[in-house]
Structure 1
Amino acid sequence: MKEEILSLPRFDMGKSFEISDVKGLYGFYKRNGYGFFAKNPVCIYQNKKIVGVKSPDPIRLSDLKGYERQKNIIIGNTRLFLSGREANNVLLYGDKGTGKSSTVKAVVNEFQEEGLRLIEIRKEDLSDFHTLCEILSESPFKFIVFLDDISFAKEDESFGTLKAVIEGGIVRRPDNVIIYATSNRRHLVNEKFSDREGDDIHIKDTIETITSLSDRFGIEVVFGAPDKDEYLKIVTELAAEQGIEMDAESLYLLAERFALLKSGRSPRTARQFVTSLLARE
């Protein structure tokens, strides 16, 4: 601590501090911000502390092939948020490996210079959400609070907490905070067939409970597994990007064979396939 203090610039007490380029200084701080979040655009909330991620994923939107409609919905909502207008919390759900989490990270990287920041929080820490918001509300930056790959049991305490956090709680969410969440489940709840059994009233109550959380997200974006044509298009674009020269028939045959050995067609499978081709060279 002593060394850090000694390294700070020194100014004479009682004397004015001359600034030759006020507009330039204003522009610098407007572009780069100041304080902790200026140096840490991606953070994790853990153990009641906000911790900066030293090596965040540098993925960009241009790295994500396909799913243009889904990406445009999220980009549009994010632009709205950054402009200071009312924007929706977003739920990205669908098949695994389709780029839900990567899309959120890429959007943050794309708009980082416009003051967008990301803080990932685990569902176990949602009870601290309002404390986190109090901290973030004092910052000039805009924050996406990110819940990645979440699902709940109906009796899960954090299920009710998240419902109150998104909408219906007594504490208002700051204007510079928005929630983006990803899940493989449409309603975020682990369901059993027995949940749908019983008389009509019980079934209705069960369904309303299950859908009550996902309905609180203003925008729901579906990331479904690509069909054959879309999958092969993604493979083709990734292969061309990596400079792989192979006739289309052979490329498609190997790509389909690779998908059969993996968990099916997905952007993740396509990327893994292209990487496996690079390893052969």
Structure 2
Amino acid sequence: MSQRKEFYERFGHFIEKIEPLLPSSPDEIDWSKPAFRWRQKSYFGVELGTLEPIVEVAFVDPKNIQNVERQKEILLSNTEQFVKGLPANNVLLTGARGTGKSSLIRSCLSKFYPEGLRLIEVDKADLKYLGEITALVRTRPEKFIIFCDDLSFEPGEAAYKALKAILDGSISASSENMIIYATSNRRHLMPEKMQDNLACGMDETGLIHPAETVEEQMSLSERFGLWLSFYPFSQEEFLRIAEGWTRHFNGPINEEWKVEALQFALQRGSRSGRVAYQFARDWTGRNKLKNDK
């Protein structure tokens, strides 16, 4: 009898030690958090996924995103439709790096979080678990943006077909309280090769028929209801963004500031919004440190 009691006690201690390592059940998830990250982990040889709250969310005020007013208006309007239970589209944001694609999506969370919007960040490798994520949030009253950043695929990746199914191809995969926002530097999300275009054919009427590879490349991006394109900034636009961020950090604006801003962009080989933000932080920090000394 004592051996059985000792066994149960040791087993109880074992359960207490491994319990914190196990994934949270849906009832244990704190849905009041604004953003989550999907994590796939191995537990004793079994793959299980869970939603982990993001401790410090990088909120972005829509007012701080400049020179993409049209894209901002469309995305905020689509998000408002979604939050209010009206028809809305999945969105693909493509174009030059550092032009505010990801920041614009985070600004939607900043604006509509009080109205029940939540964001779930999903890595490309974990897109094959979209069905599990959908099942997890389907009965929740909140609205969820599935955020896929810097999305691109190589031929044969499993995540490609999973995303394709969730966007349009699978009836069971859809959910009214979930929408997908993705960013990419590629318009069609897959690498385009010259030989794919050479394989295109033309019938006797002159109608061009894309090759199967090209059709496959285009079929995924076409499943996004909205395409928003972002373009490199001019010098004037870059300086305007840098000035906005410098004022945000309470940094000085003078003739030296303009020269240093352009030199900073030249050294980085880019006049993107990201570079403007980085310059504003560097310039403001250096000047405040100089004044303190």
**Alignment TM-score, normalising by the size of structure 1:** 0.82
1:237 to 235, 244, 262: 244
* Secondary structure in 2 matching 1:212: helix
For 2:78 and 2:28, the matched residues in 1 are separated by 27
Amino acid in structure 2 at the alignment position of 1:40: K
2:269 to 263, 267, 277: 263
CA offset at residue 96 of structure 1?
A: 1.0
Matched, 1:220 2:227: yes
For 1:254 and 1:61, the matched residues in 2 are separated by 26
CA offset at residue 117 of structure 1?
A: 0.2
The question of whether the paired residues in 2 share the 8 Å contact of 1:197 and 1:203 is answered with no
Q: Which residue of 2 aligns with 1:115?
A: 116
The question of whether the paired residues in 1 share the 8 Å contact of 2:243 and 2:280 is answered with no
* Secondary structure in 2 matching 1:221: strand
1:36 to 15, 29, 43: 29
Amino acid in structure 1 at the alignment position of 2:55: K
* Secondary structure in 1 matching 2:121: strand
* Secondary structure in 2 matching 1:145: strand
Matched, 1:45 2:38: yes
Amino acid in structure 2 at the alignment position of 1:187: H
Using a 3 Å threshold, how does the CA distance of structure 1 residues 121 and 245 change in structure 2: closer, same or farther? closer
Q: Which residue of 2 aligns with 1:12?
A: none
CA offset at residue 148 of structure 1?
A: 1.0
Q: Which residue of 2 aligns with 1:66?
A: 67
For 1:262 and 1:192, the matched residues in 2 are separated by 29
Deviations 1:192-226 (A, max 9, x none): 33332335278532221111111100001112111
- Which has the higher mean CA deviation after the structures are superposed, 57-66 or 155-164? 57-66
- List runs of 5+ in structure 1 lacking aligned partners: 1-33
Q: Which residue of 2 aligns with 1:254?
A: 260
Matches within 5 A, 1:1-281: 36-47=29-40, 48-198=49-199, 200=201, 203-247=210-254, 249-281=255-287
Using a 3 Å threshold, how does the CA distance of structure 1 residues 52 and 276 change in structure 2: closer, same or farther? same
Amino acid in structure 2 at the alignment position of 1:88: N
The question of whether the paired residues in 2 share the 8 Å contact of 1:133 and 1:173 is answered with yes
* Secondary structure in 2 matching 1:85: coil
- Which has the higher mean CA deviation after the structures are superposed, 40-49 or 111-120? 40-49
Using a 3 Å threshold, how does the CA distance of structure 1 residues 241 and 122 change in structure 2: closer, same or farther? closer
- List runs of 5+ in structure 2 lacking aligned partners: 1-26, 41-48, 203-208, 288-293
Higher RCO by CA contacts (8 Å cutoff, separation 6 or greater): 1
* Secondary structure in 2 matching 1:91: strand
Between the aligned residues of both structures, percent identity stands at 36
The question of whether the paired residues in 1 share the 8 Å contact of 2:36 and 2:119 is answered with yes
Q: What's the Cα RMSD here?
A: 2.1
CA offset at residue 110 of structure 1?
A: 1.4
